[in-house]
Amino acid sequence: MKNRHFVSILSQPDDSTCGPTSLHAVYRYLGEDLSLDEVVQSVNYLPEGGTLAVMLGMDALKRGLKTRIYSYNLKMFDPSWEDFSSNELIERLELQLRYKHGKKFLQATRAYQQYLQMGGEIVFEDLNRSIFERYLHQGIPVLTGLSATYLYKSKREYTDHKDRSVYHDLKGEPMGHFVVLSGMDKDRVFIADPYKENPISGDNYYQVDAHRLINSILLGIVTYDANMLVLFKD
């Protein structure tokens, strides 16, 4: 599976559907016969728009798939929780709500708790290229939430009155995004990107250096991303 993309992806219908569009690409690769509209309609979303990897994982669990999330989100998970069981993580997430608040934080907490109750797996492992190799060299795609601002080397963004993303280095904020890791050759990782107008290639497919990809994933913490989602069939 080296030297080429092994996942095909459609372009996202709007600025808030990169997650379900990426999920749809993985579903199709796994043989799930679903339309993009079906996936867009079935995924849960945040009140301000967009979604979280854990919500994509919940959708996959409902469809009978196994899921594994690699999380680097220190806003949500303390590093000392690394060896906790699913039940212990659910409990710590609940206790954390005594001290941390906010609508998005609460919704993310409830999503992670439900994900764990449904049998989803959360892994805490140092992010390095060996994780990419582990899956991509076996032809297993990896859906990841990351910082589009860092990955693209673009200006930060804001949303205008028509709910469109506008690049602006002063007014803008860092933006999160979902893509699918769809192949690897040495230090280059192949990306299937639902945002066709991306500044890297102007196409749904391109390659990036593994080190830049790692930094992009870790900097996704700014937008509640900083994670990778892997789906499996029995």
- Position of tokens 């798939």? 65
Q: In the structure, what pLDDT confidence band is assigned to residue 72 with cuts at 50, 70 and 90? A: very high
Q: Which residue has the higher pLDDT, 95 or 50?
A: 95
Structure tokens at 56: 């994509």
Q: What is the pLDDT of residue 154?
A: 93
Of 118, 229, 139, 117, the residue nearest 179 (C-alpha): 229
User: Residue 3 pLDDT > 60, yes or no?
Assistant: no
Task: State the pairing for strand pair 121-123/176-185.
Answer: unpaired
Q: In the structure, what pLDDT confidence band is assigned to residue 165 with cuts at 50, 70 and 90? A: confident
Q: In the structure, what pLDDT confidence band is assigned to residue 162 with cuts at 50, 70 and 90? A: confident
Report all structural domains of the chain as residue ranges with CATH numbers, in order of start.
17-232 (3.90.70.10)
Q: How far is CA 47 from CA 23, 44, 50, 148, in A?
A: 20, 10, 8, 21
Q: In the structure, what pLDDT confidence band is assigned to residue 161 with cuts at 50, 70 and 90? A: confident
Q: In the structure, what pLDDT confidence band is assigned to residue 138 with cuts at 50, 70 and 90? A: very high
Per-residue pLDDT tens for 9-37?
Answer: 999 999 889 999 999 999 999 999 999 99
CA distance 136 to 94: 35
Per-residue pLDDT tens for 170-204?
Answer: 999 999 999 999 999 999 999 999 999 999 999 99
**DSSP bridge partners of 190:** 183, 207
pTM > 0.85: yes or no? yes
CA distance 206 to 218: 20
User: Residue 129 pLDDT > 50, yes or no?
Assistant: yes
CA distance 221 to 46: 16
User: Residue 76 pLDDT > 70, yes or no?
Assistant: yes
- Position of tokens 């690394």? 82
Task: Determine the average pLDDT of the residues in 115-130.
Answer: 97
Q: What is the pLDDT of residue 1?
A: 42
Q: In the structure, what pLDDT confidence band is assigned to residue 5 with cuts at 50, 70 and 90? A: confident
Q: What is the pLDDT of residue 15?
A: 86
Task: Report the chain's mean pLDDT, rounded to a whole number.
Answer: 94
CB 156 within 8 A of CB 174: yes
User: Residue 54 pLDDT > 80, yes or no?
Assistant: yes
CB 69 within 8 A of CB 227: yes
